[in-house]
Chains A and B, each alone.
Chain A
């Protein structure tokens, strides 16, 4: 089966560059789209063609569905890769592509819909025996109902917006008094942020690890997992460091969480590349959180230990090719770590947009940098603050840590503040080195600093 002649990339920044690279290697022509402040950007330079689709504001450019589809039409692109963020988890966009005769490189619109509705996804998992964080059955309609459920779960509990994501729409509640007050506030917040006020309630696990599993699935229903990633180093629910395999995890646990992820994917008849996220308690019990129906920022970590190019897999699977390998044929070797280098103050995390005056990328054995920036690039306040992803691979975790420290020390970015100093601190921290950390780690580390 042939792949596509030409793919339009409905994204910007490093992920657009990443997709262009995969297409190039597959012999597929590429079309970049850009907002009128990004004419000089790297994805525009690297693509075979580029179309300006709107002004700087994402709403009128990278989220402009008619503009994107028209750009695909006038350039004769037969498929669209959505990257991550923007329209990647918009079922309506996936559907509109299909009805315009353009292949959406990703899962089915129905997969996206279930993935985006967390209470629906939870219900689907419970039915198939995938453990979920103890909580409400579906959406909570009243304060009284919330009080009753919270009493059963035991405090602390957490309100979550059914249509939330990216760390937003969550509210932790410590007591019944708090809960009565928080219910209405959380509903209002959900409505403002996501347009739908639906909430559900979960037990809040304080000392949890965030561990997720990469899955790949073809149109014939073959599902394989590509191992796990620990993404516990977070601040305000935003991931900062990811690694694979998960530190301190036993082989038994790794096998179990992988199998659960495959079960989760099957439960919703999942297609293409995706990620199943779990909260893992201190006794290594995994609970399903959600399924991400797109390629993730941290996908290179999995690529590094499996040798599988996930973007090429997305394209291949979207073109209808079969997976072509079985679970037993997937092996992971060594250890990989990724640090997200953001344009922000390393300790207060306030954004630091501006011009990059000078940039030197680390290199040498086992080092990969995914970026769309170079000296002279502008980090625009219009878009997210990710400047580069630094990924290292080594024989084991100890060597990977040493390599990451070495690479961070080599990395020079001048003109803007970046999170490199934060990463340097983490990579020296005794608890991080031991692998003894959870989602509270980054805040505690910041506490030690101030």
Chain B
């Protein structure tokens, strides 16, 4: 008898091949798998690599990533829940703008939690490619804040 796990394994195996149809018959079980031929195997938008130090990987895919982002961008995520600020005070200039080069450890925004202003540092070197959250918006733990283009 074919077990569910065997079937799952078979499907996974087929995914990496060009086979579109297969029939298998063993004692008591008959299985036929058929699928559309896939022209492009590459996914539309590749998930951005995560560079969160000392943390588990977060399965976040940046919400705004479209096809032209498919090269490897670095996502900076919120390390705590709070309110996101792009500048040290309402009058001051933003810590970083799109196109700015940032260094690992450089302060790139503030997250306010319990009336405390927590300076958030970049976890990598890179060029700011996108700011994903508007100023003074609430953010959750793990929410993507910035996309950085790695420096070659």
Contacts and interface: CB of A to CB of B under 8 A. Distances in A.
A313 to B, nearest CB: 30
Contacts of A55: 55-56, 141-142
Contacts of A73: 114
Contact of A36 (B83, B116, B142): B142
B81 A74 contact: yes
Contact of A66 (B114, B140, B143): B114
Given A53-B81, A55-B56, A74-B83, A67 B113 contact: yes
B80 interface: yes
A56 interface: yes
A75 B58 CA distance: 23
A59 to B, nearest CB: 13
B58 A36 contact: yes
Interface string A41-76: 000000000011111100001000011011101110
Nearest to A61: B141
Nearest to A50: B140
Could you tell me the dominant secondary structure of chain B's interface residues?
loop
Contact of A71 (B81, B112, B116, B143): B81
B142 to A, nearest CB: 5
Given A36-B142, A51-B140, A56 B81 contact: no
Nearest to B83: A74
A51 B81 contact: yes
Given A51-B81, A55-B55, A69 B143 contact: no
B142 A74 contact: no
Contacts of B126: none
Contact of A67 (B55, B56, B83, B141): B141
Contacts of A51: 81, 138, 140
Nearest to A66: B114
B138 A53 contact: no
Interface string B58-96: 100000000000000000000011110000000000000
A53 B82 contact: no
Contacts of B55: 55
Nearest to B58: A36
B144 to A, nearest CB: 12
Contacts of A66: 80, 113-114, 116
Nearest to B142: A36
Interface residues of A, number: 17
A53 B141 contact: yes
B114 A69 contact: yes
Given A70-B81, A74-B83, A52 B56 contact: no
Given A36-B58, A55-B56, A74-B138, A67 B80 contact: yes
Contacts of B142: 36, 52, 55
Contacts of A61: 141
Output the residue of A51, A54, A74, A75 with the most chain B CB within 10 A: A74
Contacts of A70: 80-83, 112-114
Contacts of B82: 70, 74
Contacts of A75: 138
Contacts of B138: 51, 74-75
Contacts of B83: 70, 74
Nearest to A69: B114
Nearest to B80: A67
Residue of B82, B113, B141 with most chain A CB atoms under a 10 A cut-off: B141
A66 to B, nearest CB: 5
A100 B138 CA distance: 18
Interface in A69-93: 69-71, 73-75
Given A36-B142, A52-B140, A67 B81 contact: yes
Contacts of B81: 51-54, 67, 70-71, 74
Contacts of A36: 56, 58, 141-142
Nearest to B78: A52
A71 B114 CA distance: 10
Give the most central of A55, A61, A69, A70: most B CB within 10 Å: A70
A61 B141 CA distance: 9
Contacts of B143: 52
B114 A52 contact: no
Contacts of B114: 66, 69-70, 73, 100
Interface string A336-370: 00000000000000000000000000000000000
A52 B116 CA distance: 19
A69 B80 CA distance: 12
Nearest to B112: A70
A5 to B, nearest CB: 17
Interface string B122-146: 0000000000000000101111000
A31 to B, nearest CB: 12
Considering the complex of A and B, which 3 residue pairs feature the smallest CB-CB distances, nearest first?
Answer: A74-B138, A52-B140, A70-B113
14 contacts: A36-B142, A51-B140, A52-B141, A52-B142, A53-B140, A54-B80, A55-B55, A55-B141, A56-B56, A66-B114, A66-B116, A67-B141, A70-B81, A100-B114
Interface of A: 36, 51-56, 61, 66-67, 69-71, 73-75, 100
Given A71-B81, A74-B138, A100-B114, 10 more contacts: A36-B58, A52-B141, A52-B143, A53-B81, A55-B55, A55-B56, A55-B141, A69-B114, A70-B81, A70-B114
Interface of B: 55-56, 58, 80-83, 112-114, 116, 138, 140-143
